[in-house]
Amino acid sequence: MKFFIKLMIILLCFGGVSLATTEFKLKNGVNVVFKQVDGVKIVSIQLWMKTGSRNENEKNNGIAHFLEHMVFKGTEKYKPSQIDEIVESNGGQMNAATSKDYTFYYITIPSKNAEVAFDVISEMVFKAKFLPEEIEKEKPVVIQEIKRKYDSPTYDMWVELSKNLYKNTTYAMEVIGTEDNVKSFTRETLFDYYNHFYHPENMTLVVVGDLSQAEVKKLAEKYFNKTKEVKSGKQIIFKPTILQKNIEKTFYKNVNQAYVAISYKAFPLTSDKIYAAEVLTEILSGGEFSLLNQKLKYEKSLVTSVFGGYMGLKYDGSFTFYFTSAPNKQKEAEKELFSLIKELKDGNLITKNDIEKAKNRLISQFLFQHEKVSSEANDIGYSYTHDIKNYYKDYEKNIERITLHDIKELAKHIFSGHYVLVKTLPEESK
């Protein structure tokens, strides 16, 4: 009886029985990762690729993001607009994203219609047509997206931050690219990037949901075991950059509050320090009662919002603090934040109890997040694409082992280095 009650609780909380993750490789090099979740009647199919703006240069910067738009605009099988229509008519939801390190496409759909998702994503990543008229129609759309970013009062300061944190690497470039680059894209330049980087060797197909392993293998081999006539493009890799000195820059805009960011160099996602960094981030910024909120927002009323946390990339990373405040409180808030950073560096700010509570919250978030097949598929894709499989497989264990000593050593390591300080202030503050 006790076993039956426990089983019912699991089914109510997670919607189905989740089995172990399995993986296999197709003959063309596509890595397939599958987790069967019986009883949920839906499945998330995601295709992750090891390419983003990191694999661009100054002349084609923005092409990965533009391609993400264009693969929806017609394939050998589907006309423009048909892709969204067929997914929605089969009860599915679809989206895509491009970052510095990866691009991915996903469809979450009733499992009875799973083959539709395999077919559609396969068409997009292997059979896009890049029709000239569709390219020209999409350029103004993306340029407008770029202009909206320009309109943000903090755009310049975030660009400046990246330029200095990741100097002389492609991480310094914006994922969205530039207007001039977007205007220059041709069918030939799109196909060149597409054929070299939308390549089977760069792909991880993730399937989580109510399908059997036999069904997944059959559909993966049918739709994704395709080849390209060229070799995979060369991945741009580099060692983390080093800040040689503190860098500060202020932008004056037509704003009515102050925006301030302070960033220190950290380490890549492949470092085993990422778990301590997640715990520290949770302590500093995990909700309304986080340390930074308590110290700067509630106790001293210096900021209207505040954040501090690790931002990881495959080959580099940073630990960034950001706050907004009334202009007349900006200097005091900045001073107080630096004081807190010094306390972190000296090991005087965080207690063992803070760490235990943060670990409990992180593990709880991890478990609840995996109630959704799409969230679990996302975690798998992110981990495998960044070559950190254990981030997904052993997350709970790696978070649980973090100690006060680990946090103190981490803070000392990061905050003993140089920083980049950027701010956007009202024009009258000059």
Span 11-51, pLDDT tens digits: 333 456 667 899 999 999 999 999 999 999 999 999 999 99
Identify the pLDDT of residue 429.
81
Condensed to tens digits (0 to 9), the pLDDT of residues 335-358 reads 999 999 999 999 999 999 999 999
What value does the mean pLDDT take over residues 118-132?
Answer: 98
Q: How far is CA 222 from CA 34, 203, 339, in A?
A: 16, 16, 59
Task: Please say whether the beta carbons of 174 and 155 come within 8 A.
Answer: no
Which stretches within 109-178 are classed as H helix? 114-126, 132-151, 155-165
pLDDT band at 1 (very low <50, low <70, confident <90, very high): very low
Calpha distance 65→40 (Å, rounded): 33
Closest CA to 150 of 173, 169, 178: 178
Angle at alpha carbon of residue 357, lines to 324 and 379, rounded to 5°:
75
Average pLDDT, the chain: 94
| Whole-number pLDDT of residue 155 | 96
pLDDT above 50 for 385: yes
CB-neighbour burial class of residue 171 (10 A; exposed 0-12, middle 13-18, buried 19+): buried
24 by DSSP, 3-state: which? strand
pLDDT at 9: 33
State residue 224's pLDDT score.
Answer: 98
* Domains of the chain, each with CATH number or no CATH: 16-224 (3.30.830.10), 247-429 (3.30.830.10)
Q: CA–CA separation, 262 vs 306, rounded Å?
A: 11
Per-residue DSSP letter, 273: T
Cα–Cα distance between 206 and 25 in angstroms, integer?
A: 12
Please name the residues in contact with 322: beta carbons below 8 A apart, sequence gap of 6 or more.
Answer: 259, 260, 261, 262, 306, 307, 308
| CA–CA separation, 352 and 329 (whole Å) | 32
Residue in the block written with tokens 């660009």? 159
Tokens of 41: 């009647």
Residue 176 DSSP code: T
* Whether 40 contacts 99, CB under 8 Å: no
DSSP H helices in 73-113: 82-89
Return d(Cα 28, Cα 381) in angstroms, integer. Answer: 19
- What helix, strand, coil percent values describe the chain, rounded to 5? 50, 20, 30
* Residue range 134-181, pLDDT digits in tens: 999 999 999 999 999 999 999 999 999 999 999 999 999 999 999 999
Closest CA to 102 of 46, 49, 66, 60: 49
Task: Name the residue type at position 406.
Answer: D
Instruction: Please give the sequence-ordered ranges of beta strands (E in DSSP) within 297-414, or none if there are none.
Output: 305-312, 317-325
The sign of the torsion formed by the CA atoms of 167, 173, 174, 178 equals: positive
Average pLDDT over residues 212-221: 98
Residue 16 is predicted with a pLDDT of 61
Q: Can you tell me the distance from the alpha carbon of 280 to that of 44, in angstroms, rounded to the nearest whole number? A: 31
CA distance 126 to 200: 9
Over residues 304-315, the mean pLDDT reads 98
For residue 241, the tally of other CB atoms under 10 A from its CB is 17
Is the pLDDT at 73 greater than 90, yes or no? yes
Strand order in the sheet with 247-253: 247-253, 419-426, 258-265, 317-325, 305-312
Q: Average pLDDT of 171-195?
A: 98
Cα-Cα-Cα-Cα dihedral sign, residues 403, 406, 411, 412:
positive
pLDDT band of 2, cuts 50, 70, 90? very low
- Between CA 89 and CA 115 the distance in angstroms is 14
Q: Where are the alpha helices (DSSP H) in 286-351?
A: 291-292, 330-346
Cα dihedral: 269, 272, 273, 278 (round 10): 70
Q: Quick: pLDDT tens for 400-410.
A: 999 999 999 99
Span 289-309, pLDDT tens digits = 999 999 999 999 999 999 999
Structure-token pair, residue 281: 């981030």
